[in-house]
Amino acid sequence: MLIAQITDLHLGFDPDNPAEFNRKRLDKVLQALNDLDRKPDLLFATGDLTEYGDVASYRRLAQAFAACDFPVHLAVGNHDVRANLAAVFPEMPLMAGGFVQYRLDRGPLRFLVLDTLEEGRHGGAFDEARAAWLSQALNDDPDRPTVIVLHHPPIDTGIAWMTTRQDEPWVALLDRTLSERRNIVGMICGHIHRAIVTGWRGRPLAVCPSTAPQVALTLAPLDPSRPDGRPMIVADAPAYALHYWNGEALVSHFDTADEHVALARFDRGMQPLVNLLLNERSGAKDAPGNPPA
């Protein structure tokens, strides 16, 4: 099974501009996903879908997603407005209270999409109502391999201005809700505008880079009273993630929508090497392509 992920689209950053930079970057990523030699089974867009949460931007988002050759499922981030999102995407499941939390079963996997938005706050949020929903969803099928989908990663990234304190109440509540669950095969997040792979208290966690411009990688301590001129946002290529479920684990790959110059292709010149590697992996001794013993 192949799960695509995009995040932090920030449509409408340049309002009323039909040639908006962020829309061009999004379209480039969606085209790259459509052009893959193996189509994703589905796509998650994990929050900060727009810059200001306005209806017009969500409508432009719907237009962009209409070009996708696969189903698209949404999560909310700190730049989103639930009511406006729901007005444009009325088919999107909501839990009581209007939270964008829902269960999605696809193939062998269960996806639980969480709402970590507190409108007006940049960082994450998670309360008892959302935790109770998550606990019940996990109890409904306690052994099924499960992927948790959310916007805010509950980790210390090392990027001083884009990180989460580990003592924040919402982090502790999420951790308690997931504790003792042995079927969490992955957590996929956004928010940081960078590719990050780590473990969070025994759970695999991957952060997808953004389709909008990326956050600069700088791990130096930051003194908010002393601007030091460090880069913060960089115009690196728009990017996406592909999460491959191999039957045992979720394997995360990251790529950009830039053109990739091929230095080698699978032609007759590469065929002996391909045969060698595949035969070696299968344990064949005398298959064509193997060198003599």
The two tokens of residue 3 are 């799960």
User: What average pLDDT does this structure show over 259-284?
Assistant: 91
> What does the pLDDT look like over 228-242, one tens digit per residue?
999 999 999 999 999
* Cα 15 to the center of its chain, rounded Å: 25
Output the pLDDT for position 292.
41
The two tokens of residue 161 are 């201005």
Read off the pLDDT band of 285 (50, 70, 90). low
> What does the pLDDT look like over 95-117, one tens digit per residue?
989 999 999 999 999 999 999 99
> What does the pLDDT look like over 2-16, one tens digit per residue?
999 999 999 999 988
Output the pLDDT for position 284.
55
User: What average pLDDT does this structure show over 219-227?
Assistant: 95
Is the alpha carbon torsion for 88, 93, 98, 100 positive or negative? negative
Read off the pLDDT band of 17 (50, 70, 90). confident
Structural domain boundaries in the chain: 2-261, 264-293
- Cα–Cα distance between 141 and 235 in angstroms, integer? 43
Q: How far is CA 123 from CA 59, 78, 99, 112, 162, in A?
A: 25, 7, 16, 20, 9
Q: Which amino acid is at 234?
A: V
- Cα–Cα distance between 269 and 274 in angstroms, integer? 10
Counting every residue written for the chain, the total comes to 293
Output the pLDDT for position 102.
97
The two tokens of residue 157 are 């990234």
Q: Answer whether residue 125 shows pLDDT above 90.
A: yes
Burial 22-32 (b: 16+ CB within 10 A, else e): bbebbbebbeb
Output the pLDDT for position 197.
98
Say yes or no: domain 2-261 is CATH 3.20.20.210.
no
Evaluate whether 221 touches 266 at the Cβ level (below 8 Å).
Answer: no
